[in-house]
Copies of this chain bind each other. A is one copy, B any other.
């Protein structure tokens, strides 16, 4: 007999079906006894009345792998409007003891550390795995939007010969006895790839040796990277990013209605044109509206981002806000300055509900500009020899951005910690499981 998935079972009313999955819950209420089976997609309720089966279930641990057969009966009181009757149960893989986490309660009560310690089981919880299924849909929406616009997917190396992105937060690898480094982003490679394909994207791991244990940093995260050529300036990039975010949200809506419902997720509207504020004007606004004086500072602190997010929600009714024109000196060396006022850059951050979700902008594309800015900034050109070679032989005006997948999910779902959006998070203290 063909196995039916739990999410399709209610469509088989009147027929005998077979389900496979895990013993999610067994509840003896006396008059009526319920078994709930969970499979990879959902759960389904079965009424058990056969005394021998009941006897067997009493000594069967939850999470045992089971096969259930019965007839589907419409039942308005049952979740999904149907349940299984005349239930026969086969134990496929028995479990000997109860798991260390309660996987069958609506909310998992474990605290964050206990959950993370037991994530190999905890991710079986319907609400926890739903986050990862949204992650998959977000990646699919990202790729589909870009594929439709002529982008090519690339997979760039994660082991690098030099720590070209600078900063202390780079991991060192023992590479056949020599030091090598884990990629902090595919930035330099994706820019070079504009020379082959014009339009590229990558979905892959990025590594940051963040020495701080915050709720919004991970040592390894999934970066959704885009870079493309023949742009006008950073506004071309912002327009593409808007389409990409809309594509990701659209895919969630399309592919994951039950996961969104389970998590009470409030999907944002993506405006056709996301509101945008120029960096110094944002600082002025923070002062005038919220009494926060950060004029002269080269970046926005998390608190400032929160306030700006609140302002965008109140004034523009938008969950998103572009902040443009961050001071050039504070952005990476490849950032393109504004042609009208080079103190400010053709760069942007996209705030989503008051947190930086995306960084991006226009990059330098002239070889001479790279040499000049590296000299000004005191960056030795040798480790960048191959990167610079790309620009020496013609790269068009280009730009791009990077979306942190876990941050996207954290803000979308209002998670309290970025670790709840990663499958097996890595941080200062955690490299297991």
- Residue ranges of A at the interface with B (Cβ–Cβ < 8 Å): 3, 5, 20, 22, 39-41, 63-65, 92-97, 99, 118, 120-121, 123-124, 129, 132-133, 135-136, 139-140, 143, 147, 150, 152-162, 171-176, 178, 180, 182, 189, 192-193, 195-199, 203-205, 207, 209, 211, 219-220, 222, 229-230, 365-367, 386-387, 389-390, 392-397, 405, 423-426, 428, 431-433
Q: Which residues of B contact A389 (CB under 8 A)?
A: 118, 120-121, 433
Identify the closest chain B residue to A433 (Cβ).
B386
The CA of A366 and the CA of B94, in the complex, are separated in Å by 9
The CA of A265 and the CA of B198, in the complex, are separated in Å by 24
A222 touching B64, Cβ below 8 Å: no
Q: Which residues of B contact A405 (CB under 8 A)?
A: 155
Q: Which residues of B contact A5 (CB under 8 A)?
A: 150
B393 touching A176, Cβ below 8 Å: no
A393 touching B99, Cβ below 8 Å: yes
Given A386-B433, A432-B161, check contact A198 B40 (CB 8 Å).
yes
| B3, B132, B161, B367: the one within 8 Å of A431 (CB) | B161
B140 touching A229, Cβ below 8 Å: no
Q: Which residues of B contact A41 (CB under 8 A)?
A: 150, 198
Given A393-B99, A424-B157, check contact A3 B196 (CB 8 Å).
no
The CA of A150 and the CA of B8, in the complex, are separated in Å by 12
Q: Which residues of B contact A431 (CB under 8 A)?
A: 159-161, 175, 178, 180
Q: Which residues of B contact A195 (CB under 8 A)?
A: 22, 120-121, 123-124
A129 touching B171, Cβ below 8 Å: no
Q: Shortest beta-carbon distance, A183 to chain B, in Å? A: 10
The CA of A132 and the CA of B22, in the complex, are separated in Å by 42
Q: Which residues of B contact A147 (CB under 8 A)?
A: 140
B428 touching A396, Cβ below 8 Å: no
B120 touching A386, Cβ below 8 Å: yes
Identify the closest chain B residue to A123 (Cβ).
B196
A176 touching B396, Cβ below 8 Å: no
B152 touching A132, Cβ below 8 Å: yes
The CA of A93 and the CA of B39, in the complex, are separated in Å by 57
Task: Given A20-B230, A136-B152, A136-B153, output 20 extra A-B contacts at Cβ < 8 Å.
Answer: A20-B396, A40-B197, A63-B394, A92-B396, A93-B397, A94-B394, A96-B392, A118-B389, A121-B389, A157-B424, A157-B426, A158-B158, A158-B205, A158-B220, A159-B220, A159-B431, A172-B173, A173-B174, A173-B182, A175-B219
Q: Shortest beta-carbon distance, A217 to chain B, in Å? A: 13
20 A–B contacts, CB within 8 A, in A order: A3-B230, A20-B230, A40-B150, A63-B393, A95-B393, A118-B389, A120-B192, A120-B386, A121-B393, A135-B153, A135-B155, A136-B154, A139-B153, A155-B222, A159-B171, A159-B219, A159-B426, A159-B431, A176-B209, A204-B204
A196 touching B155, Cβ below 8 Å: no
The CA of A68 and the CA of B433, in the complex, are separated in Å by 55
Q: Which residues of B contact A428 (CB under 8 A)?
A: 176
A171 touching B161, Cβ below 8 Å: no
Identify the closest chain B residue to A189 (Cβ).
B424
A40 touching B196, Cβ below 8 Å: yes
Q: Which residues of B contact A123 (CB under 8 A)?
A: 193, 195-196
Q: Which residues of B contact A423 (CB under 8 A)?
A: 154-157, 189, 193
B133 touching A197, Cβ below 8 Å: yes
